[in-house]
């Protein structure tokens, strides 16, 4: 087998080994008690691009969903359901699967079709100085349209973080590195994000966020904003809108979403139980 055909497997193996080492090394770490429990309110990877630095509680299933309308170079498209399923499979550890999303072009030259299925593991790490940090490793599998998601396997690693900076204010960010072994101009792609968040009461927040995608071609940059309302401890409504900052980005977009969490799937505590 050639080096070119081996590279997707090598990249996927490296991601798996990285997260396995992180998970194994943190089993007895002192800071692991900061991970969420079923008594904590829902914390989602929506609606901003920056994912939550927290994992879902052990024994919980969280479903995050949304629909978006996007304008790119004169093309209008709608996509949904943007479903991400997150399952707490161990203390401070979750399994994630991104269900294929359908992109329907309403007019213009942009393609229609399904995105790839993406499977990942996420581990919350103990860190000092009031930070929350997680490590995620996974891969996209070539199950969707190549015109939507590209060709071949797409392994990635990701590090979302967050910190409270003042009363009701917080800053979040994320560093993502994605490999596209079948597309040399896109491999690797680096995506940094930075988000400023403001809480409104105990159940709502709003944010403004910068997102960049950097590869061997022209970078794409976005300015994103939106908010979320947790109307119960385990349910959330959200919205977001954004604009592209250069010609290689989308023109603008808008989306809404709904997320919920089911606790106690493995016989653990449910809701606000101790």
Summarised one tens digit per residue, pLDDT across range 197-207 is: 999 999 999 99
pLDDT (tens digit per residue) in 23-60: 444 443 333 458 999 999 999 999 999 999 999 999 99
User: What is the pLDDT at residue 10?
Assistant: 53
The Cα–Cα gap between 90 and 124 comes to 11
User: What is the pLDDT at residue 28?
Assistant: 38
Flag whether 268 is in a domain.
Answer: no
Domain encompassing residue 65: 3-262
Flag whether 137 is in a domain.
Answer: yes
Flag whether 270 is in a domain.
Answer: no
Tokens of 191: 């995506």
The Cα–Cα gap between 263 and 232 comes to 13
| The total number of structural domains that make up the chain | 1
Smallest Cα–Cα separation from 249: which of 67, 69, 73? 73
CA 244, chain centre distance (Å): 19
Q: Is 101:79 a contact under the CB 8 Å cutoff?
A: yes
User: What is the pLDDT at residue 258?
Assistant: 98
Residue 263, classified by CB atoms within 10 Å of its CB into exposed (0-12), middle (13-18) or buried (19+), is buried
Q: Is 59:38 a contact under the CB 8 Å cutoff?
A: yes
Q: Is 93:55 a contact under the CB 8 Å cutoff?
A: yes
The Cα–Cα gap between 82 and 114 comes to 11
Q: Is 12:153 a contact under the CB 8 Å cutoff?
A: yes
End-to-end CA distance of the chain: 54
Flag whether 274 is in a domain.
Answer: no
Flag whether 271 is in a domain.
Answer: no
* CATH number, position 134: 2.40.160.40
Residue 43's SS3 state is: coil
Please determine, for residue 213, whether its predicted confidence score (pLDDT) is greater than 90.
yes
User: What is the pLDDT at residue 74?
Assistant: 85
The Cα–Cα gap between 233 and 246 comes to 39
Mean pLDDT for the stretch of residues 46-75: 96
CB atoms under 10 Å from CB of 71, counted, come to: 18
CB within 8 A of 94, min separation 6: which ones?
55, 56, 86, 87, 88, 121, 122
pLDDT (tens digit per residue) in 124-180: 999 988 999 999 999 999 999 999 998 999 999 999 999 999 999 999 999 999 999
Flag whether 267 is in a domain.
Answer: no
Flag whether 235 is in a domain.
Answer: yes
Percent with pLDDT over 70 in the chain: 85
The Cα–Cα gap between 238 and 230 comes to 9
Flag whether 273 is in a domain.
Answer: no
pLDDT (tens digit per residue) in 235-265: 999 999 999 999 999 999 999 999 999 999 9
């Amino acid at each position: 087998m050639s080096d070119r055909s081996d590279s997707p497997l090598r990249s996927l193996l490296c991601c798996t080994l990285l997260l396995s080492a992180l998970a194994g090394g943190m089993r007895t770490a002192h800071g692991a008690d900061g991970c969420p429990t079923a008594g904590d309110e829902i914390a989602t990877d929506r609606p901003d691009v920056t994912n939550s630095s927290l994992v879902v509680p052990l024994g919980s299933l969280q479903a995050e969903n949304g629909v978006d309308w996007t304008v790119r170079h004169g093309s209008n498209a709608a996509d949904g359901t943007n479903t991400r399923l997150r399952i707490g499979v161990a203390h401070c550890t979750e399994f994630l699967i991104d269900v294929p999303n359908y992109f329907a072009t309403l007019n213009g030259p942009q393609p229609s079709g399904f995105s790839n299925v993406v499977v990942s593991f996420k581990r919350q790490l103990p860190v000092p100085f009031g930070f929350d940090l997680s490590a995620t490793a996974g891969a996209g599998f070539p199950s969707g349209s190549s015109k939507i998601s590209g060709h071949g396997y797409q392994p990635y690693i990701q590090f979302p973080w967050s910190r409270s900076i003042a009363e009701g204010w917080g800053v979040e960010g994320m560093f993502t590195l994605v490999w596209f072994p079948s597309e040399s101009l896109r491999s690797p792609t680096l995506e940094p994000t930075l988000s400023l968040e403001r809480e409104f009461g105990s159940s709502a927040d709003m944010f403004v966020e910068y997102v960049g995608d950097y590869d061997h071609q022209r970078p794409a940059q976005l300015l994103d904003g939106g908010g979320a309302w947790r109307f119960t401890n385990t349910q959330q409504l959200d919205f977001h809108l954004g604009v592209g900052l250069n010609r290689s980005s989308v023109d603008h977009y808008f989306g809404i979403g709904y997320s919920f969490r089911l606790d106690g799937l493995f016989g653990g505590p449910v809701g606000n139980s101790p």
